[in-house]
Amino acid sequence: MADGAGGLRPLLPRLVVAVALCAARSSAESGAPTVEGLVRRAIEAAGRLDDYTCTSTKQEKVDGKMLPEETFVLKQRKQPDCLYLKWVVEPYKNRETIYCPARYGDKIRVHEGSGVAGWFGTLSVDPEGMLARRNNRHSIREAGIFHLLKVVGERFELARGDSEHAIGQRTSIEADVHGEPSYCLSFDEEATKTEICLHRTLCLPTRVKTFDGSGAVIETYTWADYHLSVGLTDRDFDVGNPAYGF
């Protein structure tokens, strides 16, 4: 059962130490903003959001095998924190998932869109259980951009003044991520390379990609077509919503 594209538990400690500590480098030569400026703007942008919708993808290597890319519509509300995901292409087309602890306790509500699994209707699943974590590197508790940027903010403050990890970092470069104009930060550390891209105007994540020491991709997550502070309500995270298929 897929959990969405907002995981990144092993990535974030490395990522934020790197981007925070290369802030001293200016990117004036390229015209791109400094890394410190980008990180701060991203944290501030997330802080202003009440909710958002977007189209997200994830692709992960699990047990040495790169799994198919998944594409889904994502809705997330900050308070209380709730997630809704609907897969829009195969192999999991029409799967829907809601994770809203304020409504359903610490359980994922999920149904499959087709196949034999769809015969079982709506299930209530432990987010850390075998079914939820199968073919997933991360928990649904880490999904969405609020978790990602919250940890970025926390690690950013902790990492300031620590120069031990300042080797191999680079300042921001301009890039196009699936049609989204972005600034991307990349760095090398402990036999891995990580890249995070932020939208040039929204300052929200557009892509995170991690590579192993051989240069092979371990995981990729993207976010596109943002709609911000759209006024999501309890109905958006309700299995009884007639627009849903639960």
Beta bridge partners of 196: 185, 208
**Mean pLDDT along residues 217-232:** 96
Q: Please tell us whether the domain made up of 12-229 is placed in CATH 3.20.20.70.
A: no
Give tens-digit pLDDT for 82-100. 999 999 999 899 999 999 9
- The model's pLDDT over 145-173, given as tens digits with 9 standing for 90+, comes to 998 888 777 766 765 655 444 433 445 67
Instruction: Average the pLDDT over 34-44 and give the result.
Output: 86
Q: Residue 170: what pLDDT?
A: 47
Structure-model confidence comparison of residues 159 and 25, the more confident one: 159
Mean pLDDT, to the nearest integer, of 8-25? 39
C-alpha closest to that of 16 among 144, 205, 180, 179: 205
The residue among 114 and 130 whose pLDDT is bigger is 130
Beta-carbon count within 10 A of 102 CB: 12
**Domain assignments of the chain as residue spans, ordered by start:** 12-229
CA separation, residue 115 to residues 58, 94, 119, 181 (Å): 22, 11, 7, 38
Looking at residue 66, its pLDDT comes to 95
- What's the pLDDT band for 175 if we cut at 50, 70, 90? confident
